Amino acid sequence: MSSAGILIIGNEILSGKVTDTNSPWLCRELRTLGVDVERVLTIPDDVEGIARELRMMRSRYDFVFTSGGIGPTHDDMTLEGVARAFDRKLMRSETIAMRIERAQNATPNASQLKMAMVPEDALLVDAGDLWFPVVIVENVHIFPGIPELFRRKFESIRERFRGVPVLLKRVFVKRRESEIAHTLNELLEEFPELMLGSYPKIGEESFHVLLTLESRDAGFLQRALDTLLDKLPPDAIHRVE
């Protein structure tokens, strides 16, 4: 199945001044589309660092997504880093320059035109009702860091990534994790390809552990769920979703 890496770029994330909400949201969206996110990495605003990590990611994953660093200010270095990762020049896109001028109904200044500098031969894809397109270089997809814009841009091209979605079942258990660990081990022996998660909950009165069962095969998932429910004592099950 398709794999993905997510590169979060910004000193403000690493300093704790801003909380990254883009990568958790994107992980959930990609999972519903059938894409396995295998790495999420946060790095500073540094051109060579961006280029270095992108060289690794673009060769290892089917899709790479960047967040942040594409604005008009001095610390916006993502596009230059992408260009360096692919050994390409930064070129002024007249299409983007015209869009900037049309959006503000005025001639753009030098800082604004910085946003029109994109890697040579980049693909520009209209992003719904947003004036600024999604910039794509081979398998690298470049997104802004502002969460609202990030989400709207991704939504405009999300169907490009659709594969076989991961299906999910949740079982809320009224037992401690240590009490059911042997049952979970037995389940995985019988269903070794099952993606099984066990998450203790502290402070919950109605249940102690949330179990998640995931698979792309609906029949396989249902058989695994039925087997788990048979193995657990009936009074141990709070609810199933």
How many helices, marked H, and strands, marked E, lie in the chain? 9, 12
Contact 64, 58 (CB under 8 A): yes
Q: Has domain 167-240 been given CATH number 3.30.70.1130?
A: yes
Distance, in Å, from the CA atom of 12 to the CA atom of 21, rounded to the nearest integer, reads 13
Contact 73, 102 (CB under 8 A): no
pLDDT, the chain, mean: 95
Listed range (59-68, 121-130, 219-228) with the worst mean pLDDT: 121-130
Q: Where in the chain is the domain with CATH 3.40.980.10?
A: 3-161
Distance, in Å, from the CA atom of 92 to the CA atom of 168, rounded to the nearest integer, reads 45
The one-character DSSP state at 240 is: E
End-to-end CA distance of the chain: 26
Torsion sign, CA atoms 229, 230, 232, 237: positive
Q: Which fold, 3-161?
A: Molybdenum Cofactor Biosythetic Enzyme; Chain A (3.40.980)
Q: Residue 236: its pLDDT value, please?
A: 95
User: What pTM, to 2 d.p., does this model score?
Assistant: 0.87
User: How far apart, in Å, are the Cα atoms of 4 and each of 34, 77, 91, 125, 139?
Assistant: 11, 22, 27, 20, 10
Q: Where in the chain is the domain with CATH 3.30.70.1130?
A: 167-240
Task: Give 181-227 pLDDT, tens digit per residue.
Answer: 999 999 999 999 999 999 999 988 899 999 999 999 999 999 999 99
* β-bridge partners, 143: 67
Task: Give 27-37 pLDDT, tens digit per residue.
Answer: 999 999 999 99
